[in-house]
């Protein structure tokens, strides 16, 4: 067995991850893992997936080193029929629900009890915690290169609203609520209306923060002001309390 295949096997069982926890509490990319994933792409040859090789994926073409994962009842993962796929080298824990169509890419980590709703993308090496709700149409960006770039990390009990986009290694901390339509990237500042401050670009979304889409005036020039131009900006309007927690209880009937 090649070294990259062993690393992909270890990723699938959660033995290793595409991130590392540093002693100062920060998170960084696991370069060895990302190198192995890139090696798998380089080594693979395109093959036609037939009924004999991959069943439901008949008619598709992909690298023979990173073919889609298969699940059994004993895995305790609910993969609902209808066009979803989990790629080789992705970890999916017990109790995860994947509604169709959804896609979990290589190197991703999806922890226990998380809901991956319809039209969700969990990008390469993205890290999703326990009991996270990824609502319909959520896009969690992936990253393989540059090899040292940290992937998106969503901590336990976060709620990501429909159509939200989180990219460029943004870290959403425990219990945060990202409202529908919010876009988070390192190029966009987050305005904290509770503490009356602006977070540094690329800074983690604080624990239990409730983030909604907002706008601010574009003051780049007198012309921009006269045109009443506005820029998108995410705004923290509150921090979760017992009332908001109750409204975000995951739909146990779906589980």
pLDDT at 54 exceeding the cut of 70: no
Q: What is the pTM of this model?
A: 0.91
What integer pLDDT is reported at residue 58 of this predicted model?
A: 74
Task: Flag whether pLDDT at 179 surpasses 60.
Answer: yes
pLDDT score for 254? 45
Q: What is the pLDDT of residue 169?
A: 95
Q: Residues 121-132: pLDDT tens digits?
A: 999 999 999 999
* Closest C-alpha among 172, 147, 155 to residue 41: 147
The pLDDT value given to residue 15: 97
For the chain, what are the domain ranges?
Answer: 68-254
Closest CA to 213 of 179, 249, 251: 179
The pLDDT tens digits of the residues spanning 217-251 come to 998 888 988 899 999 999 999 999 877 676 665 44
* CATH number 2.160.10.10 is the correct assignment for the domain at 68-254: yes
Query: 73-78 long-range CB contacts below 8 Å, 24 or more apart?
Result: 78/255
**Contact at 8 Å (CB) between 37 and 106?**
yes
The pLDDT value recorded for residue 251 is 47
Q: What is the pLDDT of residues 133-170, one digit of tens each?
A: 999 999 999 999 889 999 999 999 999 999 999 999 99
Q: Which residue would you say has higher pLDDT here, 26 or 13?
A: 13
pLDDT reported for residue 8: 97
Q: What's residue 253's pLDDT?
A: 42
pLDDT for the residue numbered 51: 62
Q: Give the mean model confidence (pLDDT) for residues 23-27.
A: 86
**Chain-wide mean pLDDT for the chain?**
92
Residue 114 pLDDT: 98
Neighbour tally for 226: CB within 10 Å: 8
Continuous segment of H or E residues that includes residue 128: strand 127-128
In contact, 84 and 98? CB cutoff 8 Å: yes
Secondary structure E strands in 199-249: 209-217, 230-239
């Amino acid at each position: 067995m090649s070294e990259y295949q062993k690393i992909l096997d270890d990723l699938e069982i959660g033995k290793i991850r595409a991130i590392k926890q540093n002693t100062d509490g920060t998170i960084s990319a696991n370069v060895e893992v990302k190198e192995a994933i890139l090696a798998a792409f380089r080594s693979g040859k395109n093959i036609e997936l037939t009924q004999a090789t991959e069943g439901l994926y008949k008619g598709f073409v992909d690298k023979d080193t990173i073919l889609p994962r298969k699940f059994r009842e004993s895995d305790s993962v609910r993969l609902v029929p209808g066009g979803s796929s989990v790629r080789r080298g992705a970890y999916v824990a017990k109790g995860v629900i994947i509604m169709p169509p959804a896609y979990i890419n290589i190197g991703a980590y999806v922890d226990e009890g998380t809901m991956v709703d319809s039209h969700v993308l969990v990008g390469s090496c993205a890290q999703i915690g326990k009991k996270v709700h990824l609502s319909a149409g959520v896009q969690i960006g992936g990253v393989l290169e540059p090899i040292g770039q940290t992937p998106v990390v969503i901590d336990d009990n976060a709620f990501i609203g429909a159509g939200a986009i989180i990219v460029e290694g943004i870290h959403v901390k425990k219990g945060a609520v990202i409202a529908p339509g919010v876009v988070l990237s390192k190029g966009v500042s987050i305005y904290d209306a509770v503490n009356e401050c602006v977070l540094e670009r690329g800074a983690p979304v604080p624990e239990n923060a409730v983030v909604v889409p907002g706008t601010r005036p574009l003051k780049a020039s007198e012309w921009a002001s006269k045109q009443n131009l506005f820029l998108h900006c995410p705004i923290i309007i509150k921090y979760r309390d017992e009332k908001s927690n109750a409204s975000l209880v995951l739909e146990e009937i779906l589980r």
